[in-house]
Chains A and B, each alone.
Chain A
């Protein structure tokens, strides 16, 4: 039986060089998502990009400054809890949301979570 749920997709764009209290920002955000019991989060690294500061983000010899995208899919209420927290952690960057339909594929090994 396929269950299609309305959900939200949240995308956070920032730089790999961003830090939050000493840890890389993307790690800090993923950890915060776990604390807030968000369904899942995935971090991607882009090749080249630019943003608000018009500085090109790319791979440098010594320091990494490539663009980072974190994508999170969850219900609207859960994301509403997350967004203010993330906003506070991020220095510069962009937060985008979009409406999606979500299909969860659960194997026999993973029991349905309530």
Chain B
């Protein structure tokens, strides 16, 4: 299972009609990647292109349609790519292999819970708590600030955050946040409380600070007694159920 963070992206350019032991080279490479447990690989057929031979491969001329370029892409950890590369080097007799650094932002699998979720249950003892105060009407690029902050925290894998809506308050801006006569007055005070390990919270802090126009952020040391992740690590339910 692919993890978030830095990884390698491998792109292989070959011809559709290249053979390897009487089988198409594309199939051979994909089968090899599948058996070696690569997280995922995609082969795409191009509409046109040319390579080192300087012959145009295109769909427009029937005689040339058999030589269309194929692009196989997969993303894996640097270590895994290192393991696979000698075999791929051997397989691709006519074509090009390219490796580049990439960043995995999300690797989601709806059948299996993400591995970091399991690790998170191990938070114990000293941790930090962050409280962020703002107004309900504060915006960040058109969306409510508190929603934008929660989304950002979730993307950063922060253990958890809760939004509270106050019923009355005042602060930096000097005006009172109070629900008016109308039921849809939306300028009540908002507080977000977040608990996680100090270094993770510090990373989140600088991002949140940049998003906020005004407001107050309060940090304090806390002791976490227990943190059990919501989904138990059981077998995924049957697909047909």
For the residues of B in contact with A, the DSSP-based class is strand
- In the bound complex, residues from chain A placing their C-beta under 8 Å from that of B212 are 105, 107
Contact B169 A110 (CB under 8 A): no
Contact A44 B170 (CB under 8 A): no
Assess A104 versus B164: contact at CB under 8 Å? Given A30-B169, A40-B169, A43-B169. Answer: no
Q: CA separation between A58 and B171, bound complex, in Å?
A: 28
- In the bound complex, residues from chain A placing their C-beta under 8 Å from that of B221 are 99
- In the bound complex, residues from chain A placing their C-beta under 8 Å from that of B220 are 9, 98-101
Q: CA separation between A75 and B176, bound complex, in Å?
A: 21
Could you mark each residue 8-22 of chain A with 1 if its beta carbon is under 8 Å from any beta carbon of chain B, else 0? Answer: 010000000000000
Contact A43 B166 (CB under 8 A): yes
B194 to chain A, nearest CB (A): 13
- In the bound complex, residues from chain B placing their C-beta under 8 Å from that of A99 are 220-221
B107 to chain A, nearest CB (A): 33
Please count how many residues in chain B sit with their CB below 8 Å of the partner chain's CB atoms: 27
Assess A71 versus B191: contact at CB under 8 Å? Given A40-B216, A100-B219, A103-B209. Answer: yes
Assess A104 versus B166: contact at CB under 8 Å? Given A39-B171, A110-B172. Answer: no
Contact B209 A104 (CB under 8 A): no
Query: Is B213 an interface residue when CB atoms closer than 8 A count as contact?
Result: yes
Q: Which of A2, A45, A100 contacts B209 (CB 8 A)?
A: A2
* Pair count A-B, CB < 8 A: 91
Q: CA separation between A34 and B168, bound complex, in Å?
A: 13
Closest to B210 in A: A105
Q: Which of A30, A42, A73, A109 contacts B214 (CB 8 A)?
A: A109
A73-B216, A102-B217 are known; give 17 further A-B pairs, CB within 8 A.
A2-B209, A9-B131, A33-B170, A39-B172, A40-B172, A41-B170, A42-B166, A43-B166, A43-B167, A43-B169, A73-B218, A101-B218, A101-B220, A103-B205, A103-B218, A106-B214, A107-B213
